[in-house]
Amino acid sequence: MNTRIVELRKNVPNKNDTLAEDLRSRFHAAGVTVFNWVSSPGTGKTELLKQTLIRLKAQGFHSAALVGDLETDNDAIRLAESGSPARQIKTHTLCHLEADMVERNLEGWKLEDFDFLFIENIGNLVCPAAWDLGEDVRIVLLSSTEGEDKPLKYPKLFHTADAVVLTKMDLAGPCEFDRHKAEANVFAIRPGIPILATSAKKGQGLEELCNFLVSFRKDA
């Protein structure tokens, strides 16, 4: 599942990647499964993650979340309403998260207490592609409101993804979103990658998404 990320790391070895690899080892040793969620601004990452945290908690899993934004604490506040701990990483001018920001923001958390750590990246389809955060699984979210062409226009990010989650599918009708076309464009960049369709608002696909996330647990 991590082939792409490993390839990327081999191609561009740097300080971030070394730290990300250290983080990955720490996460594995602690038994926590880590997801890095990346998308455009406004795809509904935070709402979907909040609903996901609520469902995983109801199933007895312990999760934590880190959420990146240039400014505001709004998203961490929203995520914490799920009952799971959430911390905001404010990057101010920076357009992506880096491994050292993740590391700093883990301080005081006992990783062994968590089954899952979710990292919600800055809304950006370009720059986060190049920054390994020590995650096990990189999930790229694509909203039905954005159009079907984004995988072709931003191939690098989709190329480094391990799964794609379609969001706001309740708006597919009004937005005239062609799911098959979008999926074909995703497959053109990453053949065979898992694609899940969701609507946080309507609860569509959330059970499948949670099952998918849980399937990455070593003990699953």
Nearest approach in angstroms of CB 51 to a second copy is: 16
Spell out, one character per residue from 61 to 100, where the chain touches a second copy: x when CB under 8 A holds, - when not: --------xxxx-x------------------xxx-----
Name the residue type at position 46: T
- Footprint of a second copy on 18-57 (CB under 8 A): 40-42
Nearest approach in angstroms of CB 219 to a second copy is: 37
CA–CA distance from 130 to each of 10, 59, 120 (Å)?
Answer: 12, 34, 15
Can you tell me the distance from the alpha carbon of 147 to that of 168, in angstroms, rounded to the nearest whole number?
Answer: 12
Q: What's the token pair of residue 203?
A: 């609860």
Nearest approach in angstroms of CB 90 to a second copy is: 10
- The DSSP symbol for 22 reads H
Which is closer to a second copy, CB of 93 or CB of 219?
93
Answer for which of 145, 178, 187, 217 binds a second copy (CB under 8 A) is: 145
Spell out, one character per residue from 159 to 188, where the chain touches a second copy: x when CB under 8 A holds, - when not: ---------x--x--xx-------------
Place of tokens 């935070």: 46
Residue 74 pairs with which residues in a beta bridge?
A: none
Contact present, 157 and 140 (Cβ < 8 Å): yes
